[in-house]
Amino acid sequence: MKCEVGLAMDLMQIMPDKAEVAAGFLKGLANPSRLLILCALSQGERSVTELIAATGVPQTSMSQHLSKLKTEGIVEFRRDHRTLYYFISHPVVTEIMTVLYGHFCASET
């Protein structure tokens, strides 16, 4: 990939301030269970029960992972009576999941 000198200079000035934020964001994604959850959510919003069924993540762990994803601003939820429906709220996550699927999963289907 060829970068123009001006673009490279701009990135080197901006990135030190943003690297910590980007690393923290990626830590929110860097867990197999959270990636499974996000893969399921990339198909649309899901209830906690649906996420457990789709991913096989136990309920106690599911709550912890959803809490982490919510704290990081990666997912949000809406309540319908007693049921919580989660969805991806950060637009970059959908792009990242598409890239990950293409790189790691698409060749296996």
CATH number for the domain including 95? 1.10.10.10
Flag whether pLDDT at 6 surpasses 70: no
pLDDT, residue 8, reads 63
> What's the mean pLDDT when you consider all of the chain?
88
Give the total number of structural domains in the chain. 1
Confidence class for position 20, pLDDT limits 50, 70, 90: confident
Which DSSP letter does residue 105 get? I
What are the strands, taking DSSP E only, across 1-109? 46-47, 75-80, 83-88
Q: N- to C-terminal Cα distance for the chain?
A: 29
What is the arithmetic mean of pLDDT over 14-31?
A: 85
How would you list the strands of the sheet with 83-88, edge to edge? 46-47, 83-88, 75-80
What is the arithmetic mean of pLDDT over 70-80?
A: 95
Instruction: State which residues form the domain around 18.
Output: 5-108
